[in-house]
């Protein structure tokens, strides 16, 4: 599947609305990044502008978490961390509930989103098109991290192995999701010779929780999901284990990447980074929600190496990061 400007119509905006009023083209190396950005150090993310006039220092910082589940649940889950972020930066911080990956990328690209957690599959698109600069992910107490893509069905569906999906319906989440579309598409094609439309009917639920609930309620015979989302839903008793059967589990992928938009003032970026790494999880709303998935801290990452496997999956799916 070629991810072109048609697919990204909900993401790409006119250059007149882009971040910081940056020039349409810059005389600098930018690799696969949008031509508005520079990447002089080769780390695959946009450099912060050296011209202070192009650096942002907003009075209110806008934060958004990836739209994998009910935004109301996660506004409460992030409450204590955002209070900590306000204290660290001296600025007001507002939680922005987004309904889709495309809307989240568009918000950052247009300058309306400053700090975010983008899901695994959306990270490359956010980096290349919106100037997202990820620097951390959640990890367990021992530093381990990540999740797996699983393909779920329900008991009695008639699907006992991946090959049984042929001739049936498979729910994806959205084209920008790694475990909800990109990884299963590549795996089904390379390992099982199964293609959407030719061998099975693809449908899109929009979110992982929608896919999981859809299978549990027998609305979908099968769905590809992130098992980190499933674990949290099981802990909250949204679904039960006897409603679901896993027929495939992938290798481990990096989880949600957190970071800032590239053109915040460097001093402000430093304060935000520090707020992530010195946050004490104990007894907080963040611990209450994400400990269900075994996560207990933020660890530092570099996008170039940690997202290498995701970029390879994109390449296998013929995905382009074209932004116009």
- pLDDT tens string 84-122: 999 999 999 999 998 888 999 999 999 999 999 999 999
21 and 137 belong to one structural domain: yes
Distance CA(286)–CA(281), nearest Å, equals 7
Given strand 297-300, what is the order of strands in its sheet? 92-95, 60-65, 115-118, 257-261, 132-139, 297-300
Model confidence at 323, pLDDT cuts 50, 70, 90, reads: confident
| Residue 45 forms part of a structural domain | yes
Query: What residues contact 253, with CB distance under 8 A and at least 6 apart?
Result: 120, 146, 147, 148, 149, 178, 179, 183, 309, 310
Here the CATH number for the domain that contains residue 160 is: 3.40.190.10
247 and 178 belong to one structural domain: yes
pTM above 0.85, yes or no: no
Q: Distances in Å between the alpha carbon of 44 and those of 29, 32, 196, 300, 307?
A: 10, 8, 31, 16, 10
What would the pLDDT profile of 57-94 be if each residue is shown by its tens digit? 999 999 999 886 677 788 999 999 999 999 999 999 99
93 and 207 belong to one structural domain: no
129 and 45 belong to one structural domain: yes
Given strand 201-204, what is the order of strands in its sheet? 201-204, 169-172, 222-226, 147-153, 245-253
| Residue 81 forms part of a structural domain | yes
| Residue 187 forms part of a structural domain | yes
The pLDDT assigned to 57 comes to 97
What would the pLDDT profile of 234-263 be if each residue is shown by its tens digit? 999 999 999 999 999 999 999 999 999 999
Q: How many domains does the chain have?
A: 2
3-class SS at 199?
A: coil
Segments forming the whole domain that contains residue 154: 147-253
**Which of 229, 253, 277 represents a domain boundary (last residue)?**
253
């Amino acid at each position: 599947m070629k991810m072109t400007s048609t697919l990204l119509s909900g993401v790409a905006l006119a250059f007149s609305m882009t971040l910081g009023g940056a020039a349409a083209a810059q005389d600098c190396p930018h690799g696969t990044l949008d031509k508005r950005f520079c990447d002089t150090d080769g780390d695959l993310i946009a450099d912060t502008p050296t011209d202070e006039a192009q650096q942002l220092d907003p009075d209110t910082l806008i934060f958004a978490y990836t739209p994998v589940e009910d935004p109301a649940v996660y506004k409460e889950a992030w409450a204590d961390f955002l209070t900590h972020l306000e204290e660290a930066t001296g600025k007001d911080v507002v939680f922005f509930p987004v309904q889709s990956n495309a809307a989240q990328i568009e918000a950052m690209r247009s300058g309306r989103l400053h700090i975010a957690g983008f899901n695994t599959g959306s990270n490359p698109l956010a980096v290349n098109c919106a100037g997202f600069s990820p620097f951390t992910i959640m990890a367990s107490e021992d530093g381990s991290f990540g999740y797996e893509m699983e393909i779920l069905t329900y008991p009695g569906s008639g699907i006992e192995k991946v090959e049984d999906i042929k001739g049936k319906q498979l729910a994806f989440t959205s084209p920008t999701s790694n475990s909800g579309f990109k990884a299963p598409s590549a795996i089904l094609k390379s390992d099982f010779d199964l293609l959407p439309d030719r061998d099975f009917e693809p449908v899109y639920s929009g979110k992982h929780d929608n896919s999981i609930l859809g299978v549990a309620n027998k609305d979908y015979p099968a769905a590809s999901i992130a098992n980190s989302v499933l674990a949290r839903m099981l802990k909250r008793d949204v679904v039960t284990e006897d409603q679901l059967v896993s027929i495939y589990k992938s290798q481990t992928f990096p989880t949600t990447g957190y970071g800032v938009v590239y053109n915040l003032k460097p001093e402000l970026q430093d304060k935000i980074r520090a707020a992530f790494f010195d946050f004490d999880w104990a007894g907080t709303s963040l611990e209450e929600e994400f400990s269900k998935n075994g996560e207990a801290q933020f660890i530092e990452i570099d996008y170039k190496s940690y997202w290498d496997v995701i970029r390879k999956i994109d390449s296998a799916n013929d995905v382009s990061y074209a932004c116009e």
